[in-house]
Structure 1
Amino acid sequence: MNSWVLPGAEFDELLRSFGQRAWRWECQGTYRQPTEAEPWRRWRAGEPDDLSWLRPWLDEVAAATRAGRRYSRVRVFQEPPTEYQRWQLDVSPANIAAGEDMRVLTQAEANALGLPARDFWLFDESRVALMHFENQRFAGTEIIASPQEVNRYRAWRDIACDHAIPFMAYLRDLPQRSR
């Protein structure tokens, strides 16, 4: 297998250096990233959030979009959404405003489609960054460049995209889904 592991800083560079398209499969119910701890605490306390903690990502997405590069993802939501996912319902419209194409599948739909239970990024149709987590925290990325393996991840991406709905449509329909 043609793969190697990157720590967080090197993975961040990969996110900035792709050519045309970066696509994310995001399927955990909760992430415990250190940079999100305080914003999540404030959200849980009902305090306002200026999203300054998210600004570097939003600026990166906006700059990439202006340059003709694309960030997109399909996020899997449990029903009802976890507390973390409910927070993401409030935060994610900023990602979309920055230019990210975000779509949603429910956990039941993802399971029925046979989609993987591991997060990954697909870069430029040629490299997969399989994400590793420990206690819901990002721990590193395994890079997969074998064409046969990459094709499997591309097929999963295509299935997910064919069945996912735009995030804002999911958000609009959420009251019927029992938010």
Structure 2
Amino acid sequence: MADLIGPAAFGDLFRSFQRSAWRWEAQETYRQADEVEPWQRWHDGIPVLEDLDWLRPWLDDVRAATQAGRVFQRVRKLTDPLTEYLRWQMEVTPANVEAGEDIRLLPDHLARELGLPEHDFWIFDEVQVAVLQFGLDGLTGAEIVTEPATVARYNSWRNIAWTTAVPFDDFAKT
């Protein structure tokens, strides 16, 4: 049986992991309250990298963790064509990479061929999975999974996605 936690407890996971935090990002759009205004500014033509105050806490946390030797990685599934949200995220991504996240990209059609899940999750230290739960207003919490066989399945999906995806910097050059 998995435990359900709210957004605050989910945030605590990023301060307590020891070695690695890995994300599978599968949604075409997210409705996070803290992204509404920055997305609208981008939509109105203001370059996204000019105002990253809304993202600064995350970037600072990633930078501190990676400087301490911990690893942040993610694979983002991309639609074809990109949704408007994903186009915005592609412009935000260089800030994440500069902070220390290793971000790779995987086309949606390939993710389906590989049998990767349609839901988002984080894997912490290869022993704990947080299956993200979303509502109309964004993240509502996470289901925490520690059962070894289920965690192994998530680690297998991670390995498939990670070895198949293209690093952001390489993708951006194409």
Q: What band does the TM-score fall into relative to the shorter chain?
A: over 0.9
| Cα distance in structure 1, aligned partners of 2:129 and 2:137 | 20
The alignment's TM-score, normalised by the length of structure 2, stands at 0.97
Structure 1 residue runs of 4+, over 2 Å off?
none
Map of 2:39 onto structure 1: 40
Compute the displacement of 1:132 (Å): 0.6
C-alpha distance in 2 between matches for 1:69 and 1:9: 21
Q: Secondary structure at 1:92's aligned position in 2?
A: helix
Q: Which segment drifts farther, 13-22 or 132-141? A: 132-141
Q: CA deviation at 1:172?
A: 1.9
Match of 1:56 in 2: 57
AA paired with 2:154? Y
**1:66 paired residue number:** 67
**Aligned twin of 1:95:** 96
In structure 1, give the amino acid aligned to 2:168: F
Once the two structures are superposed, what CA deviation does each residue of 1:15-43 show, in whole Å capped at 9, x if it has no partner?
12101000000000000100000000000
Give TM-score, length-normalised by structure 1: 0.94
Q: Partner residue of 1:26?
A: 25
CA RMSD after TM alignment: 0.9
Q: Which residue of 2 aligns with 1:176?
A: none
Gaps of 5+ in 2: none
**C-alpha separation in 2, matches of 1:172 and 1:135:** 34
1:78 alignment partner in structure 2: 79
Residue 171 of structure 1 and its aligned partner are, at CA, apart by 1.9
1:148 aligns with 2:114: no
Q: Which amino acid aligns with 2:34?
A: T
Give the equivalent residue in structure 2 for 1:8: 7
Give aligned-pair identity as a percent.
52
For the residues of structure 1 that align with 2:82 and 2:165, how far apart are their CA atoms? Answer: 16
Which string of whole-angstrom CA distances, capped at 9 and with x for unpartnered residues, describes residues 70-97 of structure 1? Answer: 1100000101110000001111100000
Is the contact between residue 34 and residue 54 of structure 2 (CA under 8 Å) also seen in structure 1? yes
Match of 1:118 in 2: 119
User: For 1:22, what is the secondary structure of its paired residue?
Assistant: strand
Whole-angstrom CA distance in 1 between matches of 2:25 and 2:19: 20
Residues 136 and 81 of structure 1, relative CA distance in 2, 3 Å threshold? farther
* Aligned residue in 1 for 2:169: 168
Distance in 2 of aligned mates of 1:136 and 1:29: 15
Displacement of 1:50 after TM fit?
1.5
Is contact 1:30–1:136 with CA below 8 Å preserved after alignment? no
Give the superposition deviation at 1:110: 0.3
The count of aligned residue pairs is: 172
Q: What is the CA–CA distance in structure 1 between the aligned matches of 2:128 and 2:146, rounded to whole Å?
A: 5
